Amino acid sequence: MAARLAFDRVACLRGDRLLFEGLSFALEPGAAALLTGPNGAGKSSLMRIAAGLLPASAGTVERDGGTAFTGETAALDPRLPLADALGFWARIDGGSSEDVARALDRMAIANLALVPVRMLSTGQRKRAALARVIAGRAGLWLLDEPGNGLDTASIDRLAAAMAAHRAAGGIVVVATHQPLALPGAVEIPLGARR
Amino acid sequence: MSPWGTIILRDVRLAYQGGGALLPLIFFLLVATLFPFAVGPDGPLLAKVGGGALWMAALLAALLPVDRLVAPDAESGVLDQYAVRGLSDEGIAAAKIVAHWLGFGPPLMIAALPAAALLKLDGAVLGRLELGLAIGTPALAALGVMTSALTLGLRGAGALAGLVMLPLAVPLLIFGAGALGPDGMGALKLLGAAALLLTALAPFAAGAALRAGRD
């Protein structure tokens, strides 16, 4: 898996507020980064810049190897059964229903495969969104607050999935307030300058 | 299947499953039913103005689903996921137009049959109406998706949508209704030209709106 993410002197301006500037880092296959900082420090904005959803106000972002992103929203059709909703993204990513079954198994929600997404609880929906990331074949995982709403067993499963992804040469970038097992991760503190 | 085919299939399925595809049809038939009550049951008069009334009904029916075409996907993060995967905004807009037309155009053309009977349109006028709708509904679908993308995230988007969309649809109404007469071939060609222009421009306008709305 060839993945790469490099920020070169990136700045982020939201409205007339400068969230950060001169941010540079490079992540090679197997690496991980942990974004930390208080609310409003620009963690989600940095995630969206890394995902290509927001243009950087200055500097350049290099991305390689496909990107998987999960934020506040699960992006799953509420009326569809979970397996079908995930299957849609798997087909777009060029995968199959086996990828979905494997990802459901990894997040321990295989028993919910036939349940419509709107019936899922917050934590189950979060796990479903993570299963969407796992089922895809992207090298770069961008996870914005992946631990929100997860129970401890699910957090362990998430940590295991991230470790497996890095072992296969993938990159993981996580923004979180919760302690997450991410050994050897580069810490990127935001909002420290003020 | 390519991602575009998958996206179109999903949108069509959602339109038919959610019953959203049914609403414009019922509205269209309702107008066709109400019109004789307002104008009176005078057969020749209805036959004379009925075709134009059906074009008006088609235009307003096209306006109904506008607030549900793009907004749900924006709220649930589906549009963001498309963008993360590098799918172009113009492509997404074009796929949405195709999907919306499949859920709107053919059913409307079928509904035009009973509607024409209610308004005592004769066979020749009905034929020209169906031909006009076949040419005009893709442009109405394109305008609908474009308006939906342009008004995305605005408060009172539904009310604004009418003000954005209806003026742009005026050429379709003029040439569509003009093509109903016995010497309507010229108007039909102009309808084709107007529809082609709108359908070709809409994906770019909608794509730019989707890109601008992402922040």
**Which band of pLDDT confidence, cut at 50, 70 and 90, is reported for residue B68?**
confident
Cβ-based burial of A6 (10 A; exposed 0-12, middle 13-18, buried ≥19): middle
Structure tokens at A129: 């969104």
Q: Compute the distance between CA of residue B32 and CA of residue B27 in angstroms, rounded to an integer.
A: 9
Structure tokens at B22: 């049914």
**B77 to A71: CB separation less than 8 angstroms, yes or no:** yes
Give the pLDDT score at A194: 46
**Which band of pLDDT confidence, cut at 50, 70 and 90, is reported for residue A127?**
very high
| A151 within 8 A of A121, measured Cβ to Cβ | no
Question: Which residue does chain A place closest to B87, by CA atoms?
Answer: A92
CB-side neighbour CA atoms (13 Å) of B124: 8
**Share of residues in chain B with pLDDT > 90 (%):** 74
Phi, then psi, of A126 in degrees rounded to 5: -65, -40
pLDDT over threshold 70, residue A25: yes
pTM beyond cutoff 0.90: yes
The question of ipTM being above 0.90 is answered as yes
Region A79-100: mean pLDDT is 92
Residue with tokens 């500097």: A59
**B84 to A93: CB separation less than 8 angstroms, yes or no:** no
pLDDT over threshold 60, residue A48: yes
Cβ-based burial of A128 (10 A; exposed 0-12, middle 13-18, buried ≥19): buried
pLDDT in tens, B169-190: 999 999 999 999 888 889 999 9
DSSP 3-state of B190: helix
The residue among A191, A194, A136 whose CA lies nearest residue A12 is A191
| A126 within 8 A of A75, measured Cβ to Cβ | no
Region B39-47: mean pLDDT is 88
Virtual CA dihedral for B138, B144, B146, B151, nearest 10 degrees?
Answer: 180
Give the pLDDT score at A192: 55
**Which band of pLDDT confidence, cut at 50, 70 and 90, is reported for residue A182?**
confident
The residue among A139, A141, A162 whose CA lies nearest residue A150 is A162
pLDDT over threshold 80, residue A87: yes
Give the pLDDT score at B26: 92
Give the pLDDT score at B107: 92
Structure tokens at B29: 């038939």
Q: Compute the distance between CA of residue B152 and CA of residue B131 in angstroms, rounded to an integer.
A: 32
Kind plus residue range of the DSSP H or E element containing A9: strand A4-14
| A190 within 8 A of A19, measured Cβ to Cβ | yes
| φ/ψ bin of A180: left (φ > 0), alpha (ψ from -120 to 50), beta (otherwise) | beta
The residue among A174, A161, A182 whose CA lies nearest residue A36 is A174
Give the pLDDT score at A61: 93
Between β-strands A140-144 and A67-70, what pairing exists: parallel, antiparallel or unpaired? parallel
Question: Which residue does chain A place closest to B10, by CA atoms?
Answer: A88
Size of interface A-B (CB pairs under 8 A): 53
Kind plus residue range of the DSSP H or E element containing A5: strand A4-14
How far A59 CA lies from chain B's nearest CA (Å)? 18
pLDDT over threshold 90, residue B168: yes
Contacts of A67 in chain B (CB under 8 A): 84-85
Contacts of A54 in chain B (CB under 8 A): 214-215
pLDDT in tens, B138-151: 999 999 999 999 99
pLDDT in tens, B84-95: 999 999 999 999
Q: Compute the distance between CA of residue A157 and CA of residue A106 in angstroms, rounded to an integer.
A: 7
**B10 to A88: CB separation less than 8 angstroms, yes or no:** yes
DSSP 8-state assignment for residue A81: B
Say which range, A39-43, A168-172, B164-168, has the weakest mean pLDDT.
Answer: A39-43
| φ/ψ bin of B42: left (φ > 0), alpha (ψ from -120 to 50), beta (otherwise) | beta
- Contact with chain A for residue B33, Cβ under 8 A: no
